[in-house]
Amino acid sequence: MDNRPIGIFDSGLGGLTAVMALRRLMPEENIVYFADSARVPYGEKSREELLVMARQDLDLLASFSAKAIIAACGTVSSNASHILEGYPLPVCGVLKPGIEAMARVPGRAPLGIIATAASIKAGAFRRALTEKAPGRQIIDLPCPDFVPLIESGHTSPEDPALRRAVEEALAPVKAAGAGALLLGCTHYGIISDAIRDYLGPEVALVSASDCVAEKTCRKLEALGLTGGSGETRYYTSGDAAAFSAAASALLGQEIHAEHVPAMEI
Ligand code: DGL
């Protein structure tokens, strides 16, 4: 038994999709979630900034006695994988588990990847999928409008601004006849209904958050690190009341986040 919490971090609301996925698989674990809302969006940051921020986020969760950490952020996972891998605690990023799931998609239809601008620029999602699924056509796209819309509450599939943004960003995925689409930014799981409405049921949506939760579950069981009392604590570097309200709406239960000071690069 190891009752220490599992740490999960993201730039804001997106990593809550990993919290929900992990909760379903490991209801007894304690979780400590950090939303770096003061610095959202990560997708507009430079690689140099992201390297520093990745370490700061890991260190913050380690200071809360995390036994393992999920980098529930595609942007950090694709730009700072060596920092995640070299960290002195078990750390899972979303890139590898997401790509492994995409490589298992049967058929010959093109495979789509959507992620933040910084993730697509890093090229790591494309490289990893090319390696795991050689010869398969890949279409990778940045969707820079999605995170600001989600963080400002435009998450309903009926929301006109969101529908417009989804249509504009994902037209090339539809035109390419993709068979599956990796949601390589954890925020995108929050708008999966809007994405599914536009692309239709023939495009399988693969959630990087679901994939990392499954991987973390297997890893903790293999390491004998499971145990806890099912508590979740939330911290944000932004406005605690605003984050609590938005997170409560997404999680379907009232939560109260605590503020931690914003970190500087
Ligand atoms: N949710 C994060 C990701 O998976 C970061 C999005 C952002 O802040 O731009 O990439």
> What digits encode the pLDDT tens for the residues 162-203?
999 999 999 999 999 999 999 999 999 999 999 999 999 999
Query: Would you say 214 and 144 are in contact if contact means Cβ atoms under 8 Å apart?
Result: no
Probe residue for ligand 1, chosen from 34, 36, 45, 73 as the CB with the greatest number of ligand atoms within 8 Å: 73
Residue 86: predicted pLDDT: 98
Identify the bridge partners of residue 234 per DSSP, sorted by sequence position. Answer: 33
User: Cβ distance 91 to 66 under 8 Å?
Assistant: no
Among 45, 185, 190, the mutation site with the greatest number of ligand 1 atoms within 8 A of its Cβ is 185
140 backbone dihedrals φ, ψ, rounded to 5°: -120, 135
Question: Are 116 and 147 a contacting pair, CB within 8 Å?
Answer: yes
14 lines ligand 1 (CB under 6 A): yes
With a pLDDT cut of 70, the percent of the chain lying above it is 100
Q: Identify the pLDDT of residue 49.
A: 98
Q: What span, in angstroms and rounded, lies between the C-alpha atoms of 27 and 20?
A: 10
Q: Is the CB of 73 under 6 A from ligand 1?
A: yes
pTM of the model: 0.98
CA angle 163, 210, 88 (to 5 degrees): 125
pLDDT digits (tens, 9 = 90+) for 214-243: 999 999 999 999 999 999 999 999 999 999
Cβ(232)–Cβ(7) under 8 Å? no
Q: Report how far residue 143's alpha carbon sits from residue 151's, in angstroms, rounded to the nearest whole number.
A: 14
Q: What is the DSSP letter of 89?
A: S
Which residues are within 8 A (CB) of 46 and not within 5 positions of it... i.e. 6 or more apart? 118
Q: What is the pLDDT of residue 174?
A: 97
